[in-house]
Amino acid sequence: MQSSLAQASDGDLSGLFAAFAKAEPLHAIRSPTIDALAAEEQWLKKRWGKFTSSEMHRLMTSSRDGGLSQGAYTYITEKAAEILTEFSPEHITTPQMEWGKQHEVEAIQRFTEITGYAVIHTGGDQQFIASICNQWGGTPDGRTADGGVEVKCPMSKNHLIYKEVCDGKTLKYTEPKYYWQIQSYMELTGSSQWYFISYDPRFLDAALQLHWCEIQRNQEDIDFMLNKISMAVEERDRRVKAYGSR
């Protein structure tokens, strides 16, 4: 049973399946070039003040008493500060992040060629999905008929490490931040599975360039996550109220 914290505001499955029926071939999809900065600014505005899937792991560590950790409080403070300050469209990127953006759609295309799974809402067509309470959300790298994909284009040494990931248990052990990111996407979309993809075209052997595995929904962990989100939202709002009334 889904919590009201998590039901996606745009998670209409009938609409998703209709989108698959008329989706363009993946190779025909292009990232937007006109008004790209404006589109990114709108995306950042949707995330402003909200807890997001890509940072969800920061709420998952616990203090000794089972409450929020110091790292979680730091994240909560960042979100409170966003609400209390003027929107700023700054978005920090690194060379590694740029590398990932440049090869993400290519990775999905390779995945599609091998599996035959259609993937939509990729690249410039990615969509931010907010929880029904509008307190948190995320932007999947792509959607499939049964879930979605999370794509990583890491450093080569990390790609070899990710090739050892074969399910949710090994992903949680190897890279917890990606595990929680994927579990949060499944809760937002009501999905029962997701695909973790690692891609590095720098490997000379083409057989080593792409790795993917299926991650199953873990409801026990999702319930744990939703409890952490509830605690974080309460603390964020307490701080906003306290500082906003001064």
Q: Give the residue ranges of DSSP H helices in 26-167.
A: 36-47, 57-60, 70-84, 95-115, 156-162
Torsion, CA 176, CA 99, CA 144, CA 8, rounded to 10: 60
Q: Quote the radius of gyration of the chain (alpha carbons, Å).
A: 18
Write down the pLDDT at residue 169. 98
Q: What is the pLDDT along the chain (246 residues), one digit of tens a residue?
A: 444 444 544 445 555 555 555 555 554 444 445 466 677 778 778 889 999 999 999 999 887 788 999 999 999 999 999 999 987 766 667 888 888 788 999 999 999 999 999 999 999 899 999 998 999 999 999 999 999 999 999 999 999 999 999 999 999 999 999 999 999 999 999 999 999 999 999 999 999 999 999 999 999 999 999 999 999 999 999 999 998 765
For 55, list phi and psi in degrees, rounded to 5: -110, 10
For 111-122, how does the pLDDT look when each residue is reduced to its tens digit (9 = 90+)? 999 999 999 999
Write down the pLDDT at residue 1. 42
The single-letter code of the amino acid at 88 is: S
For 165-212, how does the pLDDT look when each residue is reduced to its tens digit (9 = 90+)? 999 999 999 999 999 999 999 999 999 999 999 999 999 999 999 999
Q: Is the CA virtual torsion 117, 121, 200, 172 positive or negative?
A: negative
Q: Crossing angle for the helix pair 176-189 and 219-244, nearest 10 degrees?
A: 90
Residue 3 in tokens: 């919590």
Asked if 7 contacts 136 with a C-beta cutoff of 8 angstroms, the reply is no
Q: How far lies 243's CA from each of 169, 183, 217, 229, 239, in Å?
A: 41, 33, 38, 21, 6
